[in-house]
Amino acid sequence: MEDRIEQRITIRATQDRVWQLVTRPGWWLPGSGAEPARGPGRVAVAYGGDNRPYVIDIVRVEPQGYASFRWASAFGGAEPVPGNATLVEFYLRPVGDELGMTVVESGFSSLDLPEALREDEWKGNKGGWQYELASLRTRAEARLSPGGDSVTRAFLPRLARAAPRGVRDGYGRGFR
């Protein structure tokens, strides 16, 4: 089983604009409205309609270049601890006239889950990052608000329809 997911995108937006988006703990969760992280800490992030907030640890923030978070995606509502959490890292760097962003999520092999469920979690999050990075690019390039607005809400259903068959959003929901 693979332990990590690594995906890269380029975005036609300023580093500051993207930084303001990716340093919001749980920005990848629909409905998340957390403020940008400035240093280590812990935040409870509401997730669109789920009664249990996700608890997200802010592990490290290096201004304009690196931010990392730990969360228990397979254990919604649980505090991240060894055995239930993965580490999510975001790296930003200029790439010509654009900004390169890499996301790395690791720690799947150490989740206290049966092998088949760990594999499902990895697959779901891998597909989820494809979706979330495309959404991030759209928000950053269109200069939309981090919480989304009517343009973002109108775009996301089209993005979901364009997702490959069987891709999940990383939170257990299939797109099609």
Query: What's 118's domain CATH number?
Result: 3.30.530.20
pLDDT over 70 (residue 149)? no
Report d(CA 176, CA 163) in Å as an integer. 8
If one counts the domains in the chain, the total is: 1
Confidence of residue 147 (pLDDT cuts 50, 70, 90): low
Q: What three-state secondary structure class fits 43?
A: strand
Q: Check residue 31 and give its pLDDT.
A: 78
Confidence of residue 50 (pLDDT cuts 50, 70, 90): confident
Q: Check residue 143 and give its pLDDT.
A: 61
Question: For 86-111, what is the mean pLDDT?
Answer: 97
Q: Would residue 43 count as lying in a domain?
A: yes
Q: Would residue 157 count as lying in a domain?
A: yes
Phi and psi (nearest 5°) for 156? -60, -40
Q: Would residue 173 count as lying in a domain?
A: no
Q: Would residue 87 count as lying in a domain?
A: yes
Amino acid (1-letter code) at residue 56: I
User: What tokens does 106 get?
Assistant: 């690791």
Q: Would residue 171 count as lying in a domain?
A: no
Q: Helix 115-142 crosses helix 15-22 at what angle (to 10 degrees)?
A: 140
Q: Would residue 54 count as lying in a domain?
A: yes
Q: Would residue 172 count as lying in a domain?
A: no
How many helices (DSSP H) and strands (DSSP E) are in the chain? 3, 6
Amino acid (1-letter code) at residue 172: G
Q: Would residue 94 count as lying in a domain?
A: yes
Question: For 32-56, what is the mean pLDDT?
Answer: 88
Range of the domain at 73: 4-162
What pTM, to 2 d.p., does this model score? 0.80
Rg value, the chain, Cα: 15
Q: Check residue 47 and give its pLDDT.
A: 78
User: What tokens does 175 get?
Assistant: 């797109």
